[in-house]
Amino acid sequence: MSRPIPTHDYVAHFDPRLEWHRAWLQAALEWLVDHEPEALLEGGPLWRLWSTAPVEAAGGAAEAPTGASDRPDPNPLVRVPHFQQRDSAQLSQRDRTCFSSSCAMLLEALKPGSLLGANGDDAYLQVVQSYDDTTDAGAQLQALAHFGVTARLVQDADFQLLEQQIAGGIPVPCGTIHRDPDHRPTGSGHWLIVISHTPTHLVVNDP
């Protein structure tokens, strides 16, 4: 019989600068993925913790406390603002802008403040559309470059590449074709952004 993790008492005091706090968060995540995935739904205390907790203070990188390990966390839970494609001001685009919303989350994670407000992905979408359609990878790369982010499209990525990017604190937009068997997927697919991983799962922000 599973036992719930008492998240509420910890969330209020979580400090991302402390290695043991980050270790608790990772352990809680792995346990909940396996036993209580509903606790990770958007709006819950853990969701708010890793999607909004600041990773910078006073305009610069947060300083580690005295005695903390200097080793980078091999699997950080990258803090990425969550943009929703379905609240787009462009009503006709709400079912087809997962690519743009995912790249907007990447941009805001790497360059906080580039897109203002809960609907910052709408501003990003307008830049994308100045180059081409939201589904066009070239338009996405040009839009990111417009904001000073150099990116490239990789069509042979593997889990090792995802782990390397996450270890460097870079969330990864990923396109998936997810209908039918994995050896013969079909459909137009979907984009989301990977923000962490466990031994058995990828952790994502889904627009």
pLDDT for res 33:
66
Tokens of 163: 């782990």
Asked if residue 15 has pLDDT above 50, the reply is: yes
Q: Specify the residue for token string 């600041």.
A: 54
Whole-number Å distance between alpha carbons of 55 and 111: 12
5-33: burial string, b at 16+ Cβ within 10 Å, e else: bebeebbeebebeebeebeebbebbbbbb
**Residue 129, C-beta contacts closer than 8 angstroms, at least 6 positions apart:** 139
Rounded to 5°, angle at Cα 51 from 48 and 57:
105
Tokens 């802008």 belong to 97
**Helices within the chain (DSSP H only):** 7-11, 19-35, 45-52, 98-110, 120-129, 137-146, 159-167
pLDDT of residue 58: 26
Q: What's the confidence (pLDDT) of residue 54? A: 37
Angle of helix 98-110 relative to helix 137-146, nearest 10 degrees, comes to 30
Average pLDDT, the chain: 77
Beta bridge partners of 202: 197
**Sequence ranges of the domains in the chain:** 1-54
How many helices (H) and strands (E) the chain has is answered by 7, 5
Helix (H, G, I), strand (E, B) or coil at 86: helix
Confidence of residue 134 (pLDDT cuts 50, 70, 90): very high
Bridging pattern class, strands 190-197 and 172-176: antiparallel
Q: Quick check: 69 pLDDT over 50?
A: no
Higher-pLDDT residue of 81 and 193 is 193
Question: What digits encode the pLDDT tens for the residues 169-193?
Answer: 899 999 988 788 878 888 778 999 9
In 3-state terms, what secondary structure has residue 199? coil
List Cβ neighbours of 198 (8 Å cut-off, separation of 6 or more): 29, 30, 33, 75
